[in-house]
Amino acid sequence: MTHNTDNPTIVRGIYRHYKGNLYEVLDIATHSETEQKMVVYRALYGEFGLWVRPLAMFAENVATEECSRPRFCLEKAF
């Protein structure tokens, strides 16, 4: 994954959210109305919920009290 939010690249695999939980990225989808790229991913805890998030948001940095860091970091690519 690159952290260039203008043209981010996300690959299938396991990602760690900056708060610590793990997620599996299943695929990239296209919104039917806006053609916005969306990341389809599943939580690897709890009820294993299936989620979508805009690609740019998935790849962006978030500000924490300590620093600015990626929202999701690739742990293992498939």
- Going along 1-78, which residue ranges are E strands? 13-17, 22-30, 37-43, 50-54, 61-63, 68-70, 72-77
CA angle 37, 17, 10 (to 5 degrees): 35
CB-CB neighbours of 75 under 10 Å: 12
End-to-end CA distance of the chain: 12
Q: What is the pLDDT of residues 17-47, one digit of tens each?
A: 999 999 999 999 999 999 999 999 999 999 9
Topology (CATH) of 13-77? SH3 type barrels. (2.30.30)
How far apart CA 36 and CA 56 sit, in angstroms, is 9
Domain positions in the chain: 13-77
Higher pLDDT, 66 or 45: 45
pLDDT, average across residues 51-66: 95
